[in-house]
Amino acid sequence: MLHLDDDGFVRAPAGLVYRRLTDVGRWPTWWHGVRTTPMADGSDREVWAVELSRDRFRGLRVAAWPHTFRHDTGFTLALTGDVVGQAEFWLEPTHGGTIVHHLLQGEATRSPRRTLVTWRTVVRRGLWGLKDAVQTEVRTAVGMRP
């Protein structure tokens, strides 16, 4: 069983962080090595397949489907591939910004220790990319240099 929690701080309002984090189709613009593909699920909502590239993340191959969105607070991802289970992102507004929490619960289909280390690296790269993109957007919006 895999269990991992991690977090990162973004100096931006939670509403803005939520909009960028839940815009799954644009993840590749700030999360390098991630590919997203729109999928049809028979409903009128947006469903995305998210793939972590084998080359960028030391052979980790996972597909994820976002679901269970909670307005301005977070969402969950169903996972298949080298990790089978669920991941969750949720936001905690705090003085001066937002803490982005991440939780992984699942089973590894190969070495659990290596999978856990690689997953943590993948998520941290994503959180840093999100932080950089959102903070640049906020600074630019108020007339500051990025």
- List the domain boundaries for the chain: 2-141
Confidence at residue 117, expressed as pLDDT on a 0 to 100 scale: 87
| CA nearest to 86, candidates 117, 58, 119 | 119
Confidence at residue 92, expressed as pLDDT on a 0 to 100 scale: 97
The answer to whether 26 and 126 are in contact (CB under 8 A) is: no
Alpha-carbon distance 82 to 108, whole Å? 6
Q: Cα angle at 68 between 96 and 45, to 5 degrees?
A: 110
Cite the DSSP H helix spans in 77-145: 112-141
Confidence at residue 40, expressed as pLDDT on a 0 to 100 scale: 72
Topology classification of domain 2-141: Alpha-D-Glucose-1,6-Bisphosphate; Chain A, domain 4 (3.30.530)
Alpha-carbon distance 91 to 131, whole Å? 13
pLDDT in tens, the chain (146 residues): 899 999 999 999 999 999 999 888 899 999 988 888 887 766 666 677 787 765 555 667 788 888 888 888 999 998 888 899 999 999 999 999 999 999 999 999 888 998 888 888 888 999 999 999 999 998 887 777 76
Confidence at residue 145, expressed as pLDDT on a 0 to 100 scale: 72
Confidence at residue 82, expressed as pLDDT on a 0 to 100 scale: 87
Confidence at residue 49, expressed as pLDDT on a 0 to 100 scale: 76
Contacts of 44 (CB under 8 A, 6+ apart): none
- What are the distances in angstroms from CA 28 to CA 51, 64, 96, 130? 10, 14, 27, 10
Round to the nearest angstrom and report the end-to-end CA distance of the chain: 41
